[in-house]
Amino acid sequence: MCCTCAASPCYLFTYASAQALAVAEESSLIVQIGKWVIETACAQNVAWRNAGLPHVPVAVNISARQLHDKNLVPTVRAALATSGLEPKYLEIELTESAVMLSVDKAMGTLAELRGMGVHVSLDDFGTGYSSLSHLKRFPVTRLKIDQSFVRDLATDVDDAAIVRAIIVVAQELSLDVTAEGVETAQQVAFLTVHNCGEAQGFYFARPASPNDVLALLERRTLPLV
């Protein structure tokens, strides 16, 4: 679940365990599973909208195999067309390491998605292999600060410095920034003071079913745990 420090929320869903996803990735089933997730996420978002709920973006994680599959862009385009979802309400999430497997090919795919109006976020930022020179070229709209840096930022000066630096870099590049793995009020306070646009984590909510998210959207606020 993703919430805001100072912006509109986006919602993310986990459909399978990490172990199951690893098996799917190895067997190429991840492409079919990913196609279903994209289609389902788009359709669900439109269903919420048709129910009169606030328009919110929905983010879908993309694996390395999906990113480099030739059918990713057609899949996204078809899911948007079939569901009627506006592209700006879909966000594709991928890791630095997935992009770095084949930078030029990934850049082409991401540029096509951005050309459609779909948002693209770089997940687990700070743990991959990209350099700042690559970041300048990536057609992304959001950086997501890896939870390994967020976990101890209230007590670890090095983690705090890294998080501050990522926030500043994102802002200077006109990118949105989201902190992952937020679980405490101290973390929220730090991120708010340093103008981190969004935060996600158990502090706001646990992973939720579409019906549970519907209830959250109806309340138009998130319970703080």
CA 219 – CA 59 distance, rounded (Å): 21
For range 157-174, the mean pLDDT: 94
For range 3-15, the mean pLDDT: 39
Res 223 pLDDT > 90: no
Q: And the tokens for 124?
A: 């687990």
For range 39-67, the mean pLDDT: 92
For range 214-222, the mean pLDDT: 73
Q: And the tokens for 27?
A: 């067997």
User: What are the residue boundaries of the structural domains of the chain, listed by start?
Assistant: 2-219
Res 22 pLDDT > 80: no
Asked if 90 contacts 76 with a C-beta cutoff of 8 angstroms, the reply is yes
Which stretch of 30-34, 126-130, 143-147 has the lowest confidence by average pLDDT?
Answer: 126-130
Render pLDDT for 26-44 as a digit per residue (tens, 0 to 9).
Answer: 777 888 999 999 999 999 9
Q: What is the pLDDT of residue 103?
A: 84
The secondary element (H helix, E strand) that includes residue 198 is: strand 198-200
Residues in the chain: 225
Asked if 148 contacts 156 with a C-beta cutoff of 8 angstroms, the reply is no
HSE-up of residue 146 (Cα within 13 Å, Cβ side): 13
Q: What is the pLDDT of residue 128?
A: 64
Q: What is the pLDDT of residue 30?
A: 86
Angle ∠(68,176,1) on CA atoms, nearest 5:
80
Q: What is the pLDDT of residue 220?
A: 64
Does the domain at residues 2-219 carry the CATH identifier 3.20.20.450? yes
pLDDT band at 170 (very low <50, low <70, confident <90, very high): very high
**Average predicted confidence (pLDDT) for the chain:** 85
Highest mean pLDDT: which range of 9-18, 70-79, 207-216 = 70-79
Residue 135: name the closest of 120, 155, 147 by CA.
Answer: 120
- Assign 200 to helix, strand or coil: strand
Q: What is the pLDDT of residue 79?
A: 98
182, with CB counted inside 10 A (0-12, 13-18, 19+), is buried
- Cβ-Cβ contacts under 8 Å for 54 (sequence gap 6 or more): 217, 220
Return the higher-pLDDT residue of 25 and 11.
Answer: 25
Q: Can you say whether the dihedral through the CA atoms of 154, 157, 163, 167 is positive or negative?
A: positive
